[in-house]
Amino acid sequence: MLLIRCPYCQEERPELEFRNAGEAHIARSANMAGETDDDFEKFFFIRSNPKGIIYERWRHMHGCARFFNAVRDTVTDKFVMTYKAGEPKPSKLPGVAK
Amino acid sequence: MKKYSVFAIAREAMRGHKGWEEQWSSPEPKKEYDVIIVGAGGHGLATAYYLATVHGITNVAVLEKGWLGGGNTGRNTTIIRSNYLYDESAGIYDHALKLWDGLSQELNYNVMYSARGVMMLAHNVHDVQVLKRHVHANRLNGIDNEWLSPEQAKEFCPPLNTSKDARYPVVGAALQRRGGTARHDAVAWGYARGASARGVHIIQNCEVTGVKRAANGAVMGVDTTRGFIGAKKVGVVAAGHSSVIMNMAGVRMPLESYPLQALVSEPVKPVVPCVVMSNTVHAYISQSDKGELVIGAGTDQYVSYSQTGGLHILQHTLDAICEMFPIFTRMKMLRSWGGIVDVTPDRSPILAKTPVPGLYVNCGWGTGGFKATPGSGHVFAHTIAKDDPHPINAPFTIERFRTGRLIDEAAAAAVAH
């Protein structure tokens, strides 16, 4: 089971308290009806599914119930960091090359 | 290829078993092939086999980064069924089921297909409605599926707890008698042997690291850990890693890869005569011919390539098994493992041409690809050979996620996701 640090509660808690909420930093269009089919497909269905560093959303369902973002390595399942929703995608990751 | 038969066994018994030949050869890769298949699992090897037998294309290489059948082919729970709701799914899964029947004879290799029946339990009024809808939809598509009362379910599977006092009582069941199990390793080995005998090169420990494209965009071949190998046609059948390979060709996919875990018990005398599945308590169980109970359930919730998962998933699965079969509460589990499954948004596979000329993809089988192995290989070989999909896999395009013409088994697959 993963141990996940909620950036709001400032605590590392077991995965059972959380729900994964998919890839992070996918912006929803302000004008959804005006989206082309191509753009809607990219927004709604296409995912980066990386083997390596992933930026993903989690929700602290059975805690503060808030959404936040996490950086995790999908090969080792180790978390690099978590940060609050709305904060920009971190440009430098602690302990990660490149 | 020497034929396996009772006479071959007798002949070899007379001469100390010195005449058995290798089941498939391990040649050095050539510089160029007509077709390269990426991934030597069941689906990839079946594709190569049908390219050779149905379409006469034998200048084929199957590249495998690990060992043959060592990915999801060797990690699934071997369940075979075709009781899917929608016409497109019924078409492809029943095409596979028809090929399972007779596959051992076709391959001259015992894949141990056992039509022992797949029984899906209903525990509440919603289950009854959904499963009865499946029974009717399946029968309209010519697929056997029948409704059982709790008493009939108990008769079909005696260790099942059908007590009315159960927390989730069994109120009925849908039974597909042609469903069952097969030996997953033998499926990979049988297809590998058949393909190799017809000239297909199976190259293990050869990981694809890049896909080369010409100036006009068409595929030229693949970079591998054993050097560049050319081909005008490349079929990607890489299961959980399909999106990784497709990214090398510059194609982004509607896929996410999740760990799916399974476990087996210590071997015991025959006790579970069929496959039993339940969505509501969420677990499924069958018994292998070795006697182990083979148990599985849902995926972990996060994208991962680690081939492991959380223990709480297995605990939840065993809670469900003990609910359905209190007889197993003291059974010891022998081992558990994980595989990485590539899941599409509508939970239906993609078997199609891609925007890249000469590049084909067979992926997105998610948590239930093993059952489709023969049918998938058969129609994918057609797609590659003719550069045009077979009518059976024509609906399973990548473009459906742009047009909206989904095959939405996510809500209808008769298993919870």
Q: How far is CA B152 from CA B132, B136, B282, B415, in A?
A: 16, 19, 21, 21
- pLDDT (tens digit, 9 = 90+) per residue, B230-273? 999 999 999 999 999 999 999 999 999 999 999 999 999 999 99
What B5-14 contacts at long range (C-beta under 8 Å, 24+ apart), as own/partner pairs, is none
- Could you please report the per-residue DSSP string of B309-373? --HHHHHHHHHHHHHH-GGGTTPPEEEEEEEEEEE-TTS--EEEE-SSTTEEEEE--TT--GGGH
CATH topology of domain B118-177+257-343: D-Amino Acid Oxidase; Chain A, domain 2 (3.30.9)
CB contact under 8 A, A72 and B257: no
pTM exceeds cut of 0.90: yes
Q: Which residues of A touch B305 (CB under 8 A)?
A: 51, 74-75
Superfamily for A3-84?
Answer: Folate-binding superfamily (3.30.2270.10)
Return the structure tokens found at B334.
């022998």
pLDDT the model gives residue B197? 97
CB contact under 8 A, B402 and A51: no
Interface test with A, best of B304, B316, B398 (most A CBs within 10 A): B304
Secondary element (H or E) of residue B120: strand B118-122
CB contact under 8 A, A15 and B401: no
Amino acid in position B403: T
User: What CATH number does domain B29-109+183-254+346-403 carry, 3.50.50.60, 2.30.30.90, 3.40.50.1000, 3.30.70.380?
Assistant: 3.50.50.60
pLDDT band at B1 (very low <50, low <70, confident <90, very high): confident
How far B91 CA lies from chain A's nearest CA (Å)? 25
CB contact under 8 A, A56 and B303: yes
CB contact under 8 A, B254 and A16: no
Return the structure tokens found at A95.
């302990």
Return the structure tokens found at B275.
């496959």
CB contact under 8 A, B254 and A54: no
- Could you please report the per-residue DSSP string of B200-260? -EEE-S--EEEEEE-TTS-EEEEEETTEEEEEEEEEE--GGGHHHHHHHTT---S-EEEEE
ipTM: 0.95
Domain ranges in chain B are 29-109+183-254+346-403, 118-177+257-343
pLDDT band at B306 (very low <50, low <70, confident <90, very high): very high
pLDDT band at A98 (very low <50, low <70, confident <90, very high): low
How far B387 CA lies from chain A's nearest CA (Å)? 24
- Residues of B near A (CB-CB distance < 8 A)? 241, 243-244, 252-257, 301-306, 308, 310-312, 342, 345, 401-404
For residue B187, which of B72, B334, B307 has the smallest C-alpha distance?
Answer: B72
Distance CA A63, CA B380 (A): 47
Distance CA B22, CA B1 (A): 9
- pLDDT (tens digit, 9 = 90+) per residue, B173-216? 999 999 999 999 999 999 999 999 999 999 999 999 999 999 99
- Cβ–Cβ under 8 Å, residues B312 and B301: no
Instruction: Write out the E strands in A1-98.
Output: 3-6, 11-14, 19-23, 53-59, 67-73, 79-84
